[in-house]
């Protein structure tokens, strides 16, 4: 199972999908870090020199609801973790067979351990 987590520092989950600097990819059940890459939305903001006003998430018109689910599907992701999901992103993830998760913990290490435990319980 492949898990993607939005992050700014590689240690905790970012608050906003579109504004997160990176996406970390993990393989379960091992919990192995596969890669940490630049978030395609952050790259778009930088490359296109987009000025972010104080618009609320979902009103920034960055295309996050479509870009991120398609990007994750292309990368073989099964589970996507962030602190919150807009309805569009969540619906598009589910339509592509990707499970959205909002964890209680914001520490990536704890989230990976929780997912590993849940997998073990599912196998019993």
DSSP string, 42-89: HHHHHHTT----SPPTTSS---HHHHHHHHHHHTT-SEEE-S---HHH
Range from 15-19, 57-61, 83-87, 95-99 that averages highest in pLDDT? 95-99
DSSP 3-state assignment of 29?
Answer: coil
Q: What residues make up the domain containing 47?
A: 2-123
DSSP 3-state assignment of 32?
Answer: strand
Q: Which range has the worst mean pLDDT, 29-33, 61-65, 80-84?
A: 61-65
Instruction: Please give the pLDDT value at position 60.
Output: 57
Q: Which residues pair with 24 in a beta bridge?
A: 5, 36
Q: Which residue has the higher pLDDT, 8 or 123?
A: 8
CATH number for position 61? 3.30.420.130
- pTM for the predicted model, two decimal places: 0.89
**Cα separation of 98 and 111, whole Å?**
17
Q: Residue 53 pLDDT > 70, yes or no? A: no
**Cα separation of 111 and 14, whole Å?**
13
Instruction: Please give the pLDDT value at position 30.
Output: 93
Instruction: Please give the pLDDT value at position 86.
Output: 86
């Amino acid at each position: 199972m492949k898990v993607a987590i939005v992050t700014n520092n590689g240690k905790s989950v970012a608050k906003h999908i579109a504004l997160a600097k990176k996406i970390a990819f993990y393989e379960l059940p091992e919990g192995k870090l596969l890669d940490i890459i630049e978030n395609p939305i952050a790259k778009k903001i930088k490359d296109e020199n987009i000025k972010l006003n104080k618009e609320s998430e979902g009103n920034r018109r960055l295309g996050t609801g479509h870009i991120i689910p398609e990007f994750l599907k292309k990368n073989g992701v099964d589970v996507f973790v962030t602190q919150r999901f807009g309805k569009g992103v969540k619906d598009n993830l589910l339509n592509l067979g990707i499970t959205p998760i909002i964890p209680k913990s914001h520490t990536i290490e704890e989230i990976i351990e929780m997912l590993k435990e849940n997998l073990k319980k599912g196998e019993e």
